[in-house]
Amino acid sequence: MASLKEVRNRITSVNSTQQITKAMKMVAAAKLRRAQDAIIQMRPYAKKLGEMLATVSAGTETAAESPYKQVRTVEKVLIVTVTSDRGLCGAFNTNVIKAAVALIQEKYATQAAKGNVEILALGKKGGEAFLRRGFKVNTDFMDVYTRLSFGVVKEAAESIMADFEAGKYDAVEVVFNEFKNVATQIIRADQLLPIPEAKNDLKTATTSNVNYTFEPSEEQIVTDLIPKTLKIQLYRAVLESNASEHGARMTAMDKATDNAQELIKALRLEYNRSRQAAITKEILEIVGGAEALSQG
């Protein structure tokens, strides 16, 4: 059994930890509100932009001839992993890393065996994890969250698009956490390049009963719209991940605070039992000594 001093020290230590987890939960809650507002505002814009692209590109040769829609034999692959810079957010980062590894093993095992799979890390945790696993990792945009903005993500998207157009990669996929609510994040693995064909129901919905007047021209609009859509798609993935991170951290810190409270209760119970046992022992020693003196 631990001494009273040891139990007191543990109670003090757990109390300090509980105060830290409470503070981290409050900070995460404040950041979550801003991040949640950002992604809620982004989703309708990204959805409408995708619908516009499907509508405008339907039946145009310009869209079909876009370098970003060219399907090639997949020899070289880029996996974009969107993680956080810090831990203490439960399984948030682990889930992305596991999903990316599973994607490589299931879909790109042949390319991985040849060393033709590269990781573009958006967020330090993903980059560090894949470096430890021996993957080729591009760390140029690993610090994206230190200066998160559309401009920074735009640079990353332009770099990816240029490499794809130059033939450096034949396929690009993005693995990230999609924000659902504070307690739930959904792992997504979306193909970024080549641009996948729009679903038939989307084509039908966006082309029926709609008449557009194009200015300057339909072809020019498609040429400008495709790169913009790709940049918005990557930016949305980063915003989804950002909101998911704060939600996951808030949930993790809430559970940690509750666990600390339960541990404090158990330690206090142990302390009181140990203290009571010590007092009882002292009383028995006093009684035994007094009885020995009276008999002497």
Q: Which of 42, 54, 89, 260 is catalytic?
A: 89
Give the Cα separation of 174 and 179 in Å (integer). Answer: 15
Helix (H) or strand (E) holding 193: strand 184-193
Is position 207 annotated as part of the catalytic site?
no
Phi, psi (deg, nearest 5) at residue 195: -60, 120
The H-assigned helical ranges of 58-149 are 61-64, 92-107, 109-113, 124-132
- Taking CA atoms, 202 is separated from 51, 180, 211, 229, in Å, by 7, 23, 16, 16
Contact status, residue 183 vs residue 247, Cβ threshold 8 Å: yes
Give the Cα separation of 142 and 152 in Å (integer). Answer: 11
Tell me how crowded residue 155 is: count the other CB atoms within 10 A of its CB: 15
User: How close are the terminal C-alpha atoms of the chain, in Å?
Assistant: 36
80 Ramachandran zone, left/alpha/beta (phi>0; psi -120 to 50): beta
Is 191 strand, coil or helix?
strand
- Give the active site residues: 89
